[in-house]
Every structure is written in C-alpha cells, then in structure tokens.
Structure 1
Amino acid sequence: MPTPTTPNTRYIHGYAPHEANRLGDQADTLADLLHAGTAYPPGSRVLEVGCGVGAQTVHLVRSSPGARITAVDLSAPSLARARAQVTSQAPDADVTWQQADLHHLPHPDGHFDHLFACFVLEHLGDTPRALAEMRRVLRPGGSLTVIEGDHGSAFFHPDSEHARAVIGHQVRLQSSAGGNALLGRELAPLLRHSGFTGVTVRPRTVYADHTRPALVDGFTRRTFIAMIESIRDTALTAGLTTPSAWDRGIADLHRTTEDDGTFHYTFFKATAVRPRP
C-alpha cells in the first residue's frame, strides 16, 4: 500500500484493514496483466519502493525466485503486515524489509541492479525529486519499472455523468493531497526529464463485462469502485458533493457490473534505464 513519503503527502484512502484487503484483491486480480514481462535474475539486487502491505511484493518474489529484494516503505505497520504476508506465502524469498523515506533512501549510489515501483508515484508531492533519488541508487545500466493508473482512462456502459462526477471527486482530492490520479499519461516525459534513457511505456488495459466475471468482481467492484467509495466522507466534508449525488454516482458505477454493463480502465507500465557514463 502506498504510504506518505513526506508530511505534505497524504494517502487519501486511509490505512484501515479494508483498504489493505482492497490492495491485495487488486494485486491478485491484476497480477498477470501488470507483472507479465517483469522478472529479475537470481542474485540481482532489486529495490521495491513504497511496498506498503506487500501486495505487489508477493508477486515480485514469485516471478523472480532467487532475486535479493529490498522492500522499502515509510509506514512501520504496513511493513509489518507486508513481512507477515510474504513470509506466509513465500517463506523462502530473500526479502529485506526497511522503513525509509523514498526521498532519502539509505543506500549508496548505484547500489541496486533494478528498481520497481507500482502505484507509488501518483501519491507523491514531489515526483521529480523522488525519481532523482531512485536514479541515484540504481547502478548505471540498471533498469527501472514503474506502473501507474490514470483515472481519466475510465469509461463504462451505461455512461453516467453522476458516476463520472464521483470519479472526478477522487481525482480532485488526490490532487489536493499532493498526488496525481492522472499520472499514467505523464510517465514517458517524467522519466525522460529525470535522466532515464530507453524509456518505453505500454498500456495495460482492463476490460470487464459479464463474460469476465472474475474481473467484474475483482477489479470493477472490489478494486475500482471500492477505491472511490473509500473517499465518500472526505468528499462530503470538502463540500464537493451531497449525500444524494454521491449515492447516485456510486449506484451508477455499480450498474456497470450488471449483465449488460461494461467497464474499461488503462494502466501504464514504463521501463527505463539509468544511462552509463
């Protein structure tokens, strides 16, 4: 689970157990889509930044047996949960757990062969600074993999201005908290401007309808709609909406999970390299 990396950055979905469960559901549902093509050689040093509750770490260790993974997060409770989860599911994995600020990583220059960040940059208040620190600890010629979503990519049937409005409230609240829920579309220029080369960004699209019930349940209901539902009180307190308007928007989102409904969302997966001198 992403956690704040500076006092000015706030994870707007909170840290309750149901949010940790949502992140686990998301990681498991999307593992094949998002982790395909990502595997690190045995013995290689891999840094996962913003590991949170270990939802993505579990899949990293499964796809890269023998890799030496360091999982970093600012939250001690999240790290404890991550350690317990990975230990129970992959007891032989070589994972070092470390509480640290992403903007001040306690590692020497060029220490890691590979870096992995999933759903982390969108929550940061100073993304260029974070990328500069990540570049610092990556060895020349080492690889960076970044996965982010983009809430502007969500569309669905039946269409609904009320549903689009509640998604818009989430985007606005994340922005006011210092993040960017539309970051996926910006990955390519962000990485190039941060000094990485060989930047490649590819869309990873989720499409769910009645012929894909696992995605309807695992992604549309339990990942995306659950994420939007989690900011209800914050949106109401901020005066962005009314209870009736909110409830109408959420009901219309749930309408997309019915037999004649459809839901589409695009993630963006970027790879890049720290250039050699």
Structure 2
Amino acid sequence: MNSTTVTARYLHGYSAGETRRLGDQANSLADLLHHDTRYPAGSRVLEAGCGVGAQTVHLLAGSPGIRLTAVDISAESLATAGSRVAAGFPDARVAWLQADLHELPFPPDTFDHVFVCFVLEHQSDPGRTLAALRRVLRPGGTLTVIEGDHGTIVAHPESAAARAVIGHLVRLQAAAGGNALLGRTLQPLLTAAGFTGVEVTPRTLYADSTRPRLVDSFTRDTFIAMAGSFRADALAAGLTTGARWDRGITELHRCATEGGTFQYSFFKATATGPAC
C-alpha cells in the first residue's frame, strides 16, 4: 500500500522488505486490476500516492506515451519509484513530486486523468482527499480508484485463529486512522465527493494449488507476509497474546498449502469529474 500524507499513520512502514512485498503484490495483481486501465498517449495523468512505484510501472506499461506526474509524501519512496521506472521505462515521461495530496501545487483542471491505488484506505478523511483530487481534474476527466477490503476474505481451511488475526489487522488500521474495509464504500465516497458516472466493479482474486504462482505471490508473499509483520503492533495494542497470534498466522499458512484456498476481493471504481 502506498505512502501518502494523511493524519492516519502508515502502518506498513518503509523497509526494504515492504518495498519487495509491494512489488510482489503489484505484479501478482496486474492482470486482475489493470488490464482495463488505458489512457491515450499524450494524456496528462496524475498518480496520487505513487509510493515505491509498484503500481506506476504497470500504469506505464498499459498506457505508453502518457505524461505522468507521480506524487508522494515520502522522498525515499519517490527515489525508489524513480529507480524502478528508470530501469523498466527509461523513455517514459514522468515528473516526480514530493507533496501532500491535500495541498497539491497545481491549478484547477490540470490533469485529464487521476489514478489512485491503495491510498484511500490509509486516509483519515478520504472524502477530503477525493475533493482535493477533483480540484485538479479537468471537467469530464476521469478518476480511477482501486482499494482492497479485508472483510471479503474467504479462506480454507476455516480457522477461528486466522479469522482473529484478520480482525486484528482491521482494528489496527482503524486505530491508526485508516480503514481496511474501504473497498465496499467507494461508490458512496466518490458520489459524496462530487464525482459523476461512478461505476464500481469487484475484482476477486482466488488462489489454490492449481494456481501456484498466485499462492506464492499473493497468498503467501503478499497477504500472509503483510499480516505477519503486525505481530508487535497487535501485542502492543493488547489485542492478543503472542501464542494466539502465532497460531493464527500458522493457520493462515494452511491456506497456502495443498488443499488450501484463499480469496480476496478488491474494488475498482471509475468516475468522471463534474462538467463544470
């Protein structure tokens, strides 16, 4: 999940391991989430909260020739994103900017399209963020938002201990000012922020032993790796004990073994800026 200025605390941190996990996540989800994201060459596109560039490379791959402005609050993340893009897309036209999404230094109607992926879930006031993005989107321009929702998880074998870990993740993000269940709220959020033509589609990832690439890249290396990294936070918050947490993570790993299955739904919204 991408870094961006918010009142909410960005729980995932900025470690090298988290950078790798974000890349694994983006690569495993590219076809599911981005196959229908296409912008015409020459379009002015804003990626809001680009983080380490994990999604940026897929955005550029699907829309060659765009004029991309990638914004994030973290200078370190921007440097990583710049290196990632330079390695894969040396001729891409990308402007990198360190800025708060609520204080973007652009005049109204600057961009033809705005792209936001795994950012709003970390916002304490996502409606305010969307209003700020609407300001810089030209009338009739498009907004694309992608978010997850931990409440959509269906895992087998079913485990109360694993379910408790997922619940702790939701509570930790809420305590930090974010919302790990935000995906289900995209339609009312975008409508309340003044966007029109809002359309939301669920994008469900399902992994079992017949899809070993997804088991490795998403179930194990993305979701379980992310969940496991919150052990200290969950214990410090008094949500659980070390033994209970460890049991839950062990049970989650059963979903990534022979006979196990894991399902997670993302939500992709598209909308249009007001005509005037």
Aligned twin of 2:60: 61
Match of 1:3? 3
1:192 match: 191
Question: 2:5 corresponds to which letter in structure 1?
Answer: T
Q: Report if aligned partners of 1:10, 1:177 keep a CA contact under 8 Å in 2.
A: yes
In structure 2, the residue matched to 1:81 is 80
Cα-to-partner distance string for 1:180-217 (whole Å, 9 max, x where unaligned): 00000000000001000000000000000000000100
8 A contact 1:110–1:138 mirrored in 2: yes
Counterpart CA distance in 2 for 1:155 and 1:33 is 18
Q: Provide the aligned C-alpha RMSD in A.
A: 0.7
- Alignment check: 8 A CA contact 2:110 2:138 kept: yes
Match of 1:131 in 2: 130
SS in 1 for 2:214: helix
* Preserved contact between residue 4 and residue 10 of structure 1 (Cα < 8 Å): no
Q: Report SS of the residue matched to 1:3.
A: coil
Q: In the alignment, residue 9 of structure 2 is paired with which amino acid?
A: R
Amino acid paired to 1:272: A
Instruction: Give, as a single letter, the amino acid of the residue that structure 2 aligns with 1:263.
Output: F
Question: Counterpart of 1:205 in structure 2: which amino acid?
Answer: T
Q: What code does the residue aligned with 2:51 have?
A: G
Cα drift, residue 155 of structure 1: 1.1
Residue in 2 aligned with 1:47?
A: 46
- 3-state SS of 2:113 partner: strand
Q: Which runs of 5+ in 2 are unaligned?
A: none
Shift of 1:86: 0.4
Q: Which residue is equivalent to 2:119?
A: 120
Structure 1 residue 231 corresponds to structure 2 residue 230: yes
Residue 167 of structure 2 corresponds to: 168
The one-letter code matched in structure 1 to 2:2 is P
In 2, are the aligned partners of 1:3 and 1:10 still within 8 Å (CA)?
Answer: no
Q: For residue 180 of structure 1, what is the aligned residue in structure 2?
A: 179
- Where in structure 1 are there 5+ consecutive unaligned residues? none
CA distance in 1, matches of 2:247, 2:45: 45
Letter in 1 for 2:142: S
What residue in structure 1 maps to residue 37 of structure 2? Answer: 38
Q: Match for 2:55: what amino acid? A: Q
Q: In structure 2, give the amino acid aligned to 1:147.
A: I
TM norm structure 1: 0.98
CA distance in 2, matches of 1:4, 1:109: 21
Alpha-carbon deviation of 1:104? 0.8
The answer on whether the counterparts of 2:203 and 2:268 sit within 8 Å (CA) in structure 1 is yes
Percent of aligned pairs with the same residue? 65
Q: TM-score, normalised by structure 2?
A: 0.99
- Measured after TM superposition, the shift of residue 4 of structure 1 is 4.0
Q: SS at the partner of 2:266?
A: strand
Deviations 1:32-59 (A, max 9, x none): 1100110111110000000000000000
Aligned residue for 2:204, secondary structure, equals: strand
Aligned to 2:156: 157
Residue 269 (structure 1) aligns with: 268
Report the equivalent of 1:216: 215
5 Å matches for 1:233-272? 233-272=232-271
Q: Deviating runs (4+, > 4 A) in structure 1?
A: none
Cα distance between partner residues in 2 of 1:270 and 1:75: 25
Q: Which amino acid aligns with 1:2?
A: N
**Aligned mates of 2:240, 2:4 — CA distance in 1:** 26
> What does residue 15 of structure 2 align with?
16
Distance across 2 between alignment mates of 1:96 and 1:4:
17
Distance of aligned partners of 1:132 and 1:227 in 2 relative to their CA distance in 1, 3 Å threshold: same
Contact 2:4 2:101 in 1 (8 A): no
Q: Give the equivalent residue in structure 1 for 2:203.
A: 204
- In the TM superposition, residue 129 of structure 1 has moved relative to its aligned partner by 0.6
Contact 1:171 / 1:182 at 8 angstroms: preserved in 2?
Answer: yes
One-letter code aligned to 2:227? I
Local SS of the residue matching 1:55: coil
Residues 12-31 of structure 1, C-alpha deviations (whole Å, 9 max, x = no match)? 11111100100000000110
- Give the letter for the 1:267 counterpart: F
